[in-house]
Structure 1
């Protein structure tokens, strides 16, 4: 691998020939097709950079209700203020701090959400942790913090979402291309993301009315980004925000249950939809697709 190439950690996971790094016309949150009017959304991990922009995308798209959660109260309040300036006047916004690894805290979150916005239609599991450290050198308690947040936390929020969903709704879980590789120092992060992908695949199989998607956000410059990956962090967090809107629309129906990446071009995927569905190219294996610099060798 040529590590001087800014795409060195992106191209190996590229399904489409077209590489997307930023929001493009089809994914502009102001597009009528991406309108979130009438939808309520709960977004976790809004104390971080990607979560904040996801929430802004939903506000711009006119969601009827937006619930944001994280651990930093001051950050949540600041984001809520920004959302009010972006959303229509009648959008209901709730900023509620919660520890998603603590079930009592999650119960309180959903009780507050119900009172503030009613039933949640869309859940975005964005909260994440990447402690880092070599398996042989890192204290097990620290190493398993990633599984506590990325796996247990996301599962608990999803479980309570399903309990109030009445069999219908959308769950978008932010994962990572790290699940398709081995990178020293990322063992707990990779394991935690693999585990939550597997759980989401089971929900897809078990709950036919729940629209499940696993979304890779590319490499975004955030507090979680490893120093070694910062030179390759070329992806806009807005791209993830827009994808969560897209996945909540009927146009994404054929992608249900799959793994998708913000770096992939949607229209190119749609042009090869029949082959993608027939060959199960969006399923974990890794994806049954031949990923690489030139994208999958389409027929």
Structure 2
């Protein structure tokens, strides 16, 4: 790769010719077509930059209730205070509830409290994540396995309790990474756990076709999880993830359900090639049969 190109780390995962690294009209949270009025959303991992941006996007879009969860109560309260300031309507209910997503007891308690305070949850966004950056054998096995506890067990438990109350309808979005399609040294537990998470989402969709399931890649961001070597290339706006999460909850995104979506991919270009994408599985884990590269996949027409 030409590492003098600041998009170099993005190109290997680029499906469309057009690449987005900032908000654009289709995914602007204030766009009327993305209104979240009357919807309730539960977002995990809100103390980080991506989770905060997702929460802000849903507040701007006018969600009726937003449940924020993570491990750090102080950080959750800070996010709650911020999204109250940007909320489209003062009637948006903000519920803060810390939880350990690797604990079935803790997750069950989270859902019990959410049900009592808010009622039915329409949208679940599995944003919480954990990344070790070390060679195999370079950290203790229990620490290596922690990526699976957070990135696989967490979304499983959250999805389990979501389905219990969903009455067969709703949307689940799991935040993933482009590294599921590559091999990076020192990221064995992270990449493999996120790959397992994406396969879980595909199976979840196959078993529950009326539950809209998406694996969403948030691009490359400057967060506490970003490896130092990749910081110069981390130029994606976290609000892109927030805006795309809103878009994925609209009927326009129905045909994408069960698949992988990247915030860097252009939605209009994907819609223009919808038939090929569906027929060839370009947005499934089989998307690896697409020629992801600078300039995007060479579409058939």
- Using the size of structure 2 for normalisation, the TM-score is 0.97
Tell me if 1:75 matches 2:75. yes
Question: Deviation per CA, 1:173-197, whole angstroms, max 9, x where unpaired?
Answer: 0000000011011000011101111
SS at match of 2:148: helix
Match of 1:257 in 2: 258
Task: Give the paired residue count.
Answer: 299
Q: RMSD between aligned alpha carbons?
A: 0.9
Deviates more, 1:126-135 or 1:83-92: 83-92
Match of 1:144 in 2: 145
Match of 2:17 in 1: 17
Tell me if 1:42 matches 2:42. yes
**4+ long deviations beyond 3 Å:** none
SS at match of 2:82: helix
Matches within 5 A, 1:264-283: 264-283=265-284
Q: Any conservation in 2 of the 1:44–1:51 contact (CA below 8 Å)?
A: yes
Match of 2:63 in 1: 63
Match of 2:244 in 1: 243
Tell me if 1:108 matches 2:109. yes
Matches within 5 A, 1:104-253: 104-253=105-254
Counterparts of 1:157 and 1:104 in 2: how far apart (Å)?
12
Uncovered stretches (5+) of structure 2, i.e. residues with no partner: none
Q: Any conservation in 1 of the 2:181–2:288 contact (CA below 8 Å)?
A: no
- Structure 1 position 287, deviation (Å): 3.6
SS at match of 1:66: strand
Counterparts of 2:253 and 2:286 in 1: how far apart (Å)?
21
Q: Any conservation in 2 of the 1:211–1:256 contact (CA below 8 Å)?
A: yes
- Structure 1 position 21, deviation (Å): 0.2
- Using the size of structure 1 for normalisation, the TM-score is 0.98
Counterparts of 1:57 and 1:189 in 2: how far apart (Å)?
27
Match of 1:296 in 2: 297
Q: Any conservation in 1 of the 2:37–2:61 contact (CA below 8 Å)?
A: yes
SS at match of 1:74: helix
Q: Any conservation in 2 of the 1:282–1:288 contact (CA below 8 Å)?
A: no
Counterparts of 2:240 and 2:168 in 1: how far apart (Å)?
29
Counterparts of 1:125 and 1:6 in 2: how far apart (Å)?
29
Uncovered stretches (5+) of structure 1, i.e. residues with no partner: none
- Structure 1 position 286, deviation (Å): 4.1
